[in-house]
Chain A
């Protein structure tokens, strides 16, 4: 039994409503912050794609394999986002 059915009080309804509004605001702020991180992220991704060709990519625990240049993915034209 994870939850016992009960009638939500009016106070709880109001509390929830307020928290949802605040969460929406928090979410929008995160999206904006992550959008602003794009130039740094692009650099990190470029470095990662280099590293996995020289040092390798982790496949399991300490096992790694070097990725061949022809396996390196190409950035698609669609909009890229990290927060969904």
Chain B
């Protein structure tokens, strides 16, 4: 994902703008948090004005909506604060309205925001992946379950988990007087928004209510602290692994080298295999091979990851 490092950014400092993209009904406003300059994928704070009405319809990209205040109605069901909805690409969401208004966060994951009025799914839609839950009422806080783990006092509620990439969307909190004295970086991009509260990071200072970041992989962050605690929502695009250390001055390249070195020690056989010549493109038997779509980075022993495949002729 081609998004720049946006950290820290506080949306309270900027006004809402009217959503003017084609297809969207009047009454939706947004603040852009970050966007992918290649495909238009966007993370936004969103405001549904009182009386907002959206007919049934779909988006060309999957998207996630989290309600922070007020409520929306989807079909007959009312969704209040803490509600989370994951809508796969092409799935027609029932009519959405907000009689008294609402604010939330919306993440269009693989393309710019789009809305096409429709009361039936697109032929390519995967409706079984649709998910909706009220995270405040119906999910429990758990420890983070990442190894190595964050310090006690940081807890999560998992909203969505991608079984292929291990990317996930989660709520997290820090208890009052939370502190974690180390520096971390990850192999994944990480994004977060503070619904309430202020936390501190040694590199960036305070992140208050309305604070946001989009952080590309391998960027140092931490030590961490929060005097009164926080409530936040976070997302990653792939597996979140905590590479902890205590050198404040390492750069991205050094952190990448270290992460690769750790694979060598943690998964020596896999590391050896990935480095062997020949067809080293891992095949996941649950998914397409990938060449046709070019969805996995690989090379053929020449180190040329950027390449194309000729279409193979079908044997008759």
| A4 and B149 contact, CB distance less than 8 A | no
Select from chain B the residue with minimum beta-carbon distance to A67.
Answer: B246
| Contact between chains at A2 and B244 (CB < 8 Å) | no
Convert A34-71 into 0s and 1s, putting 1 for each residue whose CB lies closer than 8 angstroms to a CB of B: 10010011001100110110011111111010010000
The residue from A26, A34, A58, A82 contacting B182, defined by CB atoms under 8 A apart = A58
Contact among A11, A23, A44 with B202 in the assembled complex (CB-CB below 8 Å): A44
B8 contacts across to A, CB distance below 8 A: 30
Verify A60–B7 contact, CB threshold 8 A: no
Nearest chain A CB to B116 CB, angstrom units:
9
The answer to whether B111 has its CB under 8 Å from any CB of chain A is yes
CA distance A61 to B124 in the complex (A): 43
Q: Is B228 part of the binding interface, using a Cβ–Cβ cutoff of 8 Å?
A: no
Q: Is the interface of A mostly helix, strand, loop or mixed?
A: mixed
Complex: A78 Cα to B249 Cα, angstroms:
10
CB distance A62 to B152 under 8 Å?
A: yes
Contact yes or no, A15 B248, CB < 8 A: no
Q: Are A27 and B22 in contact (CB under 8 A)?
A: no
Chain B residue contacts of A40, Cβ below 8 A = 205
**Interface: B150 (CB within 8 A):** yes
Candidate in B7, B181, B244 with the most chain A CB atoms within 10 angstroms: B181
- Of A30, A41, A49, the residue contacting B9 (CB under 8 A) is A30
Interface of B is mostly: loop
User: Contact between B9 and A20 (Cβ–Cβ < 8 Å)?
Assistant: no
Which B residues from 145 to 197 make CB contacts under 8 A with A?
147-152, 180-182
C-beta contact mask, B16-51 vs A, less than 8 Å → 1, else 0?
000011100000000010110101101000000000
From B34, B90, B112, give the contact of A8 (CB < 8 A): B112
Q: In the complex, are the beta carbons of B181 and A12 less than 8 A apart? A: no
Q: Chain B contacts of A9 at CB under 8 A?
A: 22
Are A3 and B62 in contact, with the CB atoms below 8 A? yes
- Contact A58-B244, Cβ < 8 Å, known A2-B61, A2-B89, A41-B202: yes
Contact residues in B for A55 (Cβ distance below 8 Å): 181
| Cα-based distance from A80 to B254 in the complex (angstroms) | 13
Contact partner, B4, options A23, A52, A57, A62, Cβ 8 Å: A23
Does B126 reach chain A (CB closer than 8 Å)? Answer: yes
Determine whether the beta carbon of B181 is less than 8 Å from that of A56: yes
**CB pair B35 A19 closer than 8 Å:** yes
A60 to B144 CA separation, bound complex (whole angstroms): 11
B148 partner, pick from A1, A6, A60, A76, beta carbons under 8 A: A60
Contact A1/B89 with A26-B9, A48-B248 known, Cβ cut-off 8 Å: yes
- How far is B7's CA from A22's CA once the two chains are assembled, in angstroms? 15
A80 touches B249 (CB 8 A): yes
- The segment out of B215-223, B269-277, B278-286 that lies at the interface is B215-223
Whether B32 lies near A19 (C-beta < 8 A) is yes
Task: Determine how close the nearest CB of chain A comes to the CB of B8; give it in whole angstroms.
Answer: 7
Interface membership of A32, Cβ < 8 A: no
The answer to whether B21 and A83 touch across the interface, beta carbons within 8 angstroms, is no
Q: What 4 A-B pairs have minimum CB-CB distances, sorted nearest first? A: A3-B110, A60-B148, A82-B203, A73-B247
A-B contacts besides A1-B124, A4-B124, A73-B246, 20 pairs, CB < 8 Å: A1-B62, A2-B61, A3-B39, A3-B111, A4-B61, A4-B122, A11-B22, A12-B21, A12-B22, A52-B181, A52-B182, A52-B246, A58-B182, A60-B149, A61-B151, A62-B152, A64-B181, A75-B249, A82-B203, A82-B204
User: Which residues from chain B sit less than 8 Å from chain A, CB to CB?
Assistant: 4-9, 20-22, 32, 34-35, 37, 39-40, 42, 60-62, 88-90, 109-112, 114, 122, 124-126, 143, 147-152, 180-182, 202-205, 216, 219-220, 223, 244, 246-249, 251-252
